[in-house]
Each structure stands twice: as C-alpha cells, then as structure tokens.
Amino acid sequence: MFKIKDLTSVFRRSQEAEKTAASLPELQLEAAKLATKLRGEKKSGRPGDSDRFRQFRPFMNGDQMSRVDARRSASFFDHNGEPELQVRQREQDITNILYLWRKKSPSMEFKSDKALYSKQEAADILTMAMGYIALNSKEHFTMLGTDMRLRSDKGAASELAAHMFSMSDGQNETLPDHPLHRGQLLKKDGYVVMFSDFFPTRALFEEEELYDKSPEEIREAMMKRIADKLQRFHTTGVKGYLIQIMDPQEIEFDYKGTIRFEEGSDSSVSHEVDKAEALRDNYLEARRLYQEALEKTIKSLPGWKLSTYVTDRPLIEALMPLYPGLKAPSRAPSLTPSGK
C-alpha cells in the first residue's frame, strides 16, 4: 500500500492538496482491489528459469539434481535401452516494459448522476491498478510525462502515486508529443497504455482557433493531432492500447430542460442551454461520427488498439481487453444510446 506520509510535501504544493489527500486512500484501495483480480504474467514458451513447467528433457552437465524428475526418469530409456535421467524444463519469463499515461484535465472531472466514478477518478484508479499489476508480474513500468525511471520494485507504486497527484491540471491534458521518456526514445519492446476520453482539449481549440469551426472541422483537427502523435510512437516499434473513458451521459445525452454545462470543479468555463433535449439528435450524430473517426485512426496503426469504458460499469471491464481470459460481467457496455 502507498505511504501517504511520504506524499505530504507533494500535496502541500498543490492548490487542491486537501481534496487530493482525502481522496487518495480511497483511490488506492480501489486500485489495489482491482489489481488482485488480474495477473499480468506473460508466457514465452521458451526455456528459462520461471516456475512454469514446459517439458521434460535429458539430464545435462550443469543441471541441478533437484530438477530431476524421479518418476519420469524411472520409466524413460535412451535409444540404447539405458536408463536416462529426465529434468523438468521450465519456461522463460518475459520482462515487459510498460509505459503508462493518463489524461489529467478539468473536463475529466465530469461525473453524471448515472456514473459510479468521474472520468478522472476512473483514469487514476486504472493507472494505479496497472502499476500494481506490473509489480505483481515483475514488470518494469513508468509514467510518461514524468521523470520517473523504469522500476519494478516495491517503491515504484509510491512514486507513481506521487507523480500522478502532484500534476497540475493541463500538465498531462494532451497526448505526449514525442515517444520520449527521460530524454530517451521508448524501448521498442515496450507497451504503452493510455487512459483518456480522447476528446478535443481547450488547448487544441486555442491553438487551432476552433471555437467558431464546425463539428467536422473540429473532428478533423483532433484526429490529425492524435494520428500525428501516435504515428511517432508507432515508428519506434512500441505497441499500445488506448482505453477511452466516457460518462454514460456522453453516450445517452438524455438531458431535458435548461442545463448548465461546466468544466472542472471551479466552474471557470460554463455554457447554459435551453431545451437540452432539442440538441440530442445532433449531439448523438456528431458523437457517432467522432467515434468512428477515432476508431479508424487507431486501426490504421498496426499494434495499436482502442476500447471504450463507460463509468457506470465495473472498473474491471476497462482492463478486460488487456486480459482477454477474464470472464465478462453480466452486461457488456454499449455505445449505442438506449432507444436508438
């Protein structure tokens, strides 16, 4: 479990220190519980030093006698009919390198009445859970956008939490521009896992002057930005999985009457609409086109995949695509609005 006292100095530097310190233990607990349901061990099928049995083979000079299987040896003879000792050959473990990234933005704080978590809470818990899983699997991991080195020791979890909760809004709002970590290219056998809603950010609107643009122009600008950045990652040889986190209201949009939309807890950006139900059809069509464009963009990159997690569902569903052996919950999430 993370040591909260080690993070005191980090929280003190944050404007939301009290709120963050209060929520961290709960988020940690959720992450730890989630990680216990998953194991990230990978099998190589190659001979090595793990505990998993692969096959029997003849005893060779240098082998330890403790690896001899007496029962197998008692019934095995070589081609001359002579008894031949047999040893249990074990598989070689793969040491994976995991690069984590999660979006931190005021827009990720959105949580409708239908949701179990805000999008930010889900991203934080899932990121920490991946760190726990990596530790259980003896994998090296780090977090992009920080100076955290690749680690696989017990202290890695505390450092991950420290980096995550010392970030200010906007520090990790957009995808990394380049496949670099601590000034070095990502290792080509690494695996990147990103948690975000992958929606246009305020920075994109300002940089591309999109405030007066059509949904089509906004969509094209965002897809180009995502494609350009991920293509740089792809060229290094790393593979990746993008887990899109969405609130159920972002899928259903069943608001009615006068609604005030606010960005972040400080309500610094807001917009009020009358008769929200009149916007539903146009919104749903725009979202459908955006989703199709996002899926098409990711599909164009070999070795990269995309899945969507909706925050009214158990968190384990978000990680199921990474662990296909898991049993699916009773109801799978749907991106199709009810009644459509």
In tens, the pLDDT along 41-54 reads: 444 433 344 444 45
Examine the pLDDT at 276 and tell me if it is beyond 70. yes
Average pLDDT over residues 290-316: 95
The residue type at 249? Q
Examine the pLDDT at 159 and tell me if it is beyond 70. yes
Examine the pLDDT at 154 and tell me if it is beyond 50. yes
Average pLDDT over residues 260-276: 70
Examine the pLDDT at 104 and tell me if it is beyond 80. yes
Average pLDDT over residues 144-159: 91
In tens, the pLDDT along 55-81 reads: 677 776 666 787 788 888 787 776 677
Q: How far is CA 147 from CA 17, 36, 193, 196, in A?
A: 21, 27, 17, 21
Q: Please, are residues 229 and 180 in contact by the beta-carbon 8 Å criterion?
A: no
Can you tell me the distance from the alpha carbon of 166 to that of 15, in angstroms, rounded to the nearest whole number? 10
Examine the pLDDT at 29 and tell me if it is beyond 50. yes
Average pLDDT over residues 122-142: 90
User: What is the dihedral angle through the alpha carbons of 127, 149, 96, 245, rounded to the nearest 10 degrees?
Assistant: 20
Point out the least confidently predicted range of 76-80, 167-171, 275-279: 76-80
Distance, C-alpha 37 to centroid of its chain: 16
3-state secondary structure of 196: strand
Model pLDDT, residue 10:
32
Examine the pLDDT at 178 and tell me if it is beyond 50. yes
3-state secondary structure of 37: coil
Query: Structure tokens of 186?
Result: 């990502």
Q: Which residue did the predictor score with more confidence, 88 or 265?
A: 88
Query: How would you classify the pairing of strands 140-143 and 180-181?
Result: unpaired
Model pLDDT, residue 27:
66
How many CB atoms are closer than 10 A to CB 266?
A: 12
3-state secondary structure of 144: coil
Average pLDDT over residues 156-176: 86
Model pLDDT, residue 13:
32
Q: Please, which pLDDT band fits residue 188 given cuts at 50, 70 and 90? A: confident
Examine the pLDDT at 197 and tell me if it is beyond 80. yes
Model pLDDT, residue 11:
34
Phi, psi of 92 (to 5 degrees): -95, 130
Query: How would you classify the pairing of strands 97-102 and 190-196?
Result: parallel
How many CB atoms are closer than 10 A to CB 103?
A: 21
Q: Please, which pLDDT band fits residue 337 given cuts at 50, 70 and 90? A: low
How many CB atoms are closer than 10 A to CB 30?
A: 19
In tens, the pLDDT along 217-267 reads: 999 999 999 999 999 999 999 999 999 999 999 999 988 888 887 765 555
Model pLDDT, residue 78:
66
Burial class (CB in 10 A: 0-12, 13-18, 19+), 4: middle
Model pLDDT, residue 25:
58
Model pLDDT, residue 263:
63
The residue type at 244? Q
Predicted model pTM: 0.73
